[in-house]
């Protein structure tokens, strides 16, 4: 029996209606960081993510693609560069991945729906309202913003249908109490918005079934209805543990957990979700945390607007850990932030290359240069230093005053040790408050302090007289390695792969990588083998990187375009007599020349069978060299009125076949059998 404390944390389940972007990645990386932090602390962690696969939007997208909804979502979830691949690339440590099309979930939702119907919380009625198709949300008139969906700003449609309703109104007071009088919803600043905008105007019963489309979980006792996607989706947090199904048996042990969600879905998680739980007598989630959005040029990034940033491109160019770090370091977790590539590069250069990278590479290089890769025994923490660090870590030293004479190296040691010893406590406080950006801020203060310690101690000067200063030099380098170790442990949840490498370079063995040891000074073995290894965070040349990014993004946009596209077929009929008026003839190319000052036009001299040459100008220079066309038999319409182009007359038009490939127009002149004589009529 596992007696470790349990910690259950979830991301929202993502709509696989399109590839996921950096905004989704932000949410998953943040949740992963929290999960890894709790594992580091020794908790038994269950981390769930997944995909929300039903609903009208996906049904429509699949229709457009000419495949079934299941085939459509399979591609996006399981396919190359799909959701699962993205999480693998981003080093996401989820223990489970739920898809709402998973059979066990479907059956569980049917049972849940029936239970709420049987307990009287779901009843049948008629729905009249405003529906936002992309968001799958019904709204009341008063909730609309300028007549449009308050979430995405797009137009809504009138919708009316026989439907099942959930008695949300019945739970209004209890939910209000939960929001106002507990720490259920975080950050606290979101509480007011929920209460003022949604609860105080009056909570109406919620429509929880649809008949207008079929891609959803059928209500088993009334199968022309499918379950509303949000009921289907919210319960993923417990069906993935085995609630109302036999696939897992973890519900009792793990629920309740913590739901991390974006701000626009806080409403569903902080009002509807607890009301559902109350209806079934389930424990309520411990916390719902609503994080902010990553914005692009100040506006929302969205798959449907097409202005999204591709995490694959960024991770491939800058490295997974640099991207993870940037997301957590730059944007305060509860607020919105403006994403930009420039900011990403700046963060990598300042924090990772300059501060952390330099600390590690300078320290390991000096251990190599002055001590051949291993410090001498006895250079480690003194008993006094350990005591001091212990008192600071316990919080027993308030306002440490150190009256060292100017230039006394003990002053530098005490300051560095003091900062490093106090770090774990500050970091923990921030992480517990869902403020990973603050935790990183604390870590970087210590890294900066350590870099300053190098300059204060000037190891290169000490090294000039090893006999006199060798012991001091070794102690300085030990302190630097020890500060690096403590920071490295606390950075592990943010950059797991890179910290493994850091530990190897700094000679930190497994026992010195634990949470406990991050709170103790002097754990590192003083004789550990230190390696000056690869540069973990190389400096990025901003201009070259931005150009490369632009090229990769253009390439990706092109790759995302359909392979081949044709003009849509016209639905207007043309009567036969009108059609017959167009005079199409076989023509032979006698001469073909470029037109001066035009990079589009070619001038054709054509034999049209009349004995008089015909001149036609055609905008096809992009696709053909003039000399390749001489002698070819083409098709021209010859009874169009003559037209002047670049000062020259064109009498007719050559016929071509056109289509689009990867967004580029492709043209082929219609060439016919050379046995056909010039002037032959096409009919």
Nearer CB in complex with ligand MSP: 35/360: 35
* CB-nearer residue toward ligand MSP: 58 or 352: 58
Provide the pairing of β-strand 157-166 with 122-132: antiparallel
Least distance (Å) between residue 20 CB and ligand MSP = 7
Question: 133, 157 in Cβ contact below 8 A?
Answer: yes
* Nearer of residues 12 and 274 to ligand MSP, judged by Cβ: 12
Shorter beta-carbon distance to ligand MSP: residue 265 or 420: 265
Residue whose C-beta lies closest to ligand MSP: 262
Give 296's DSSP letter. E
Residue 406 CB burial class (10 angstroms; 0-12, 13-18, ≥19): exposed
Burial class of residue 625, CB neighbours in 10 A (0-12, 13-18, 19+): exposed
Question: What phi and psi values does residue 660 have, to the nearest 5 degrees?
Answer: -115, 135
Burial of residue 354 (number of CB atoms within 10 Å: 0-12, 13-18, 19+):
middle
Minimum Å distance from CB 264 to ligand MSP?
5
Q: Compute the least distance from the CB of residue 52 to ligand MSP, in Å.
A: 3
Instruction: Provide, rounded to whole angstroms, the least separation between the CB of residue 289 and ligand MSP.
Output: 10
As measured in angstroms, the least distance from the Cβ of 147 to ligand MSP is 23
Q: Is 258:285 a contact under the CB 8 Å cutoff?
A: yes
Minimum CB–partner distance for residue 232 and ligand MSP (Å): 9
Which is closer to ligand MSP, CB of 300 or CB of 632?
300
Query: Of 95 and 264, which has the nearer Cβ to ligand MSP?
Result: 264
**Which helix H or strand E contains 266, and what residues bound it?**
helix 266-267
Could you tell me the CA-to-CA distances from 666 to 567, 626, 670 in Å, in that order? 12, 17, 13
CB 275, min distance to ligand MSP, A: 14
Shortest Cβ 72–ligand MSP spacing (Å): 15
Checking 329-333 for CB contacts under 8 A at 24+ apart, the result is: 329/437, 329/440, 329/494, 330/437, 331/26, 331/292, 331/294, 331/437, 332/292, 332/435, 332/437, 333/30, 333/289, 333/291, 333/292, 333/434, 333/435, 333/436, 333/437
Residues that bind ligand MSP (CB under 6 A): 12-15, 23-24, 26-27, 52, 233-234, 236, 261-262, 264-265, 293-294, 301
For ligand MSP, the closer CB: 209 or 517 = 209
Tell the smallest beta-carbon distance from residue 10 to ligand MSP (Å): 8
Rounded (to 5) percent helix, strand, coil in the chain: 45, 20, 35
Please name every residue paired with 48 in a beta bridge, in sequence order, or none if there are none: 10, 96
Shortest CB 239 distance to ligand MSP, Å: 11
Tell me whether residue 24 or residue 424 sits nearer to ligand MSP (CB atom).
Answer: 24
Q: Is 373 exposed, middle or buried (0-12, 13-18, 19+ CB in 10 A)?
A: middle
Nearer to ligand MSP, 9 or 450 (CB): 9
**Residue nearer to ligand MSP on the CB measure, 7 or 26:** 26
């Amino acid at each position: 029996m596992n007696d470790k404390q349990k910690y259950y944390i979830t991301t929202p389940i993502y709509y696989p209606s399109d590839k996921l972007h950096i905004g989704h990645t932000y949410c998953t990386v943040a949740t992963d960081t929290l999960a890894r932090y709790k594992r580091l602390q020794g908790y038994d962690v269950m981390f769930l993510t997944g995909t929300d696969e039903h609903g009208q939007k996906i049904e429509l997208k699949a229709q457009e693609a000419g495949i079934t909804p299941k085939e459509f979502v399979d591609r996006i979830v399981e396919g190359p560069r799909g959701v699962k691949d993205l999480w693998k690339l981003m080093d996401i440590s989820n223990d489970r991945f739920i898809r709402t099309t998973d059979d066990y979930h479907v059956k569980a939702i049917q049972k849940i729906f029936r239970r709420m119907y049987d307990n009287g919380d779901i009843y049948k009625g008629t729905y009249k309202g405003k529906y936002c198709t992309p968001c799958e949300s019904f709204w009341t008139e008063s909730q609309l913003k300028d007549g449009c969906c308050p979430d995405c700003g797009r137009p809504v449609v009138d919708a009316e249908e026989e439907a099942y309703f959930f008695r949300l109104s019945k739970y209004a007071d209890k939910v209000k109490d939960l929001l106002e009088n507990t720490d259920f919803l975080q950050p606290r600043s979101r509480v007011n918005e929920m209460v003022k905008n949604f609860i105080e105007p009056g909570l109406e019963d919620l429509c929880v079934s649809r008949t207008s489309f079929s891609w959803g979980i059928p209500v088993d006792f009334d199968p022309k209805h499918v379950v509303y996607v949000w009921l289907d989706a919210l319960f993923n947090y417990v069906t993935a543990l085995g609630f109302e199904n036999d696939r897992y048996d973890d519900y009792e042990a793990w629920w309740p957990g913590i739901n991390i969600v974006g701000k626009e879905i806080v409403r569903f998680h902080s009002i509807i979700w607890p009301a559902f739980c109350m209806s079934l007598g389930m424990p309520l989630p411990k916390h719902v945390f609503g994080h902010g959005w990553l914005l692009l040029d100040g506006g929302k990034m969205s798959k449907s607007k097409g202005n999204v940033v591709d995490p694959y491109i960024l991770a491939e160019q800058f490295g997974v850990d640099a991207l993870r770090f940037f997301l957590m370091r730059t944007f305060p977790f509860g607020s919105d932030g403006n994403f930009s590539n420039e900011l990403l590069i700046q963060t990598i250069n300042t924090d990772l290359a300059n501060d952390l990278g330099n600390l590690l590479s300078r320290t390991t290089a000096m251990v190599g240069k002055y001590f051949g890769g291993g410090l001498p025994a006895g250079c480690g923490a003194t008993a006094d230093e350990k005591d001091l660090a212990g008192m600071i870590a316990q919080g027993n030293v308030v306002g440490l005053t150190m009256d060292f004479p100017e230039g006394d190296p003990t002053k530098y040691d005490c300051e560095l040790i003091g900062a490093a010893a106090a770090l774990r406590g500050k970091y923990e406080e921030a992480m517990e408050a869902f403020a990973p950006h603050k935790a990183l801020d604390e870590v970087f203060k210590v890294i900066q302090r350590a870099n300053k310690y190098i300059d204060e101690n000037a190891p290169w000067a000490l090294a000039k007289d090893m006999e006199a200063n060798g012991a001091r030099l070794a102690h300085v380098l030990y302190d630097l390695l020890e500060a690096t170790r403590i920071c490295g442990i606390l950075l592990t949840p943010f950059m797991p792969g890179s910290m493994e490498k850091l530990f190897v370079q700094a000679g930190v063995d497994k026992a010195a990588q634990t949470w406990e040891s991050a709170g103790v000074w002097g754990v590192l073995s003083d004789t550990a083998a230190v390696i000056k290894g690869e540069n973990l965070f190389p400096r990025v040349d901003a201009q070259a990187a931005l150009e490369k990014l632009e090229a990769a993004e253009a390439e990706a946009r092109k790759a995302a375009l359909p392979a081949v596209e044709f003009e849509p077929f016209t639905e207007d009929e043309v009567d036969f007599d009108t059609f017959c008026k167009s005079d199409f003839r076989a023509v032979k190319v006698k001469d073909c020349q470029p037109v001066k000052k035009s990079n589009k036009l070619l001038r054709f001299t054509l034999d049209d069978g009349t004995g008089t040459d015909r001149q036609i100008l055609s905008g096809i220079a992009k696709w053909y060299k003039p000399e390749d066309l001489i002698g070819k038999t083409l098709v021209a319409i010859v009874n169009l009125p003559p037209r002047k182009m670049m000062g020259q007359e064109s009498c007719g038009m050559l016929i071509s076949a056109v289509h689009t490939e990867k967004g580029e127009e492709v043209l082929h002149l219609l060439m016919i059998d050379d046995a056909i004589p010039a002037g032959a009529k096409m009919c």
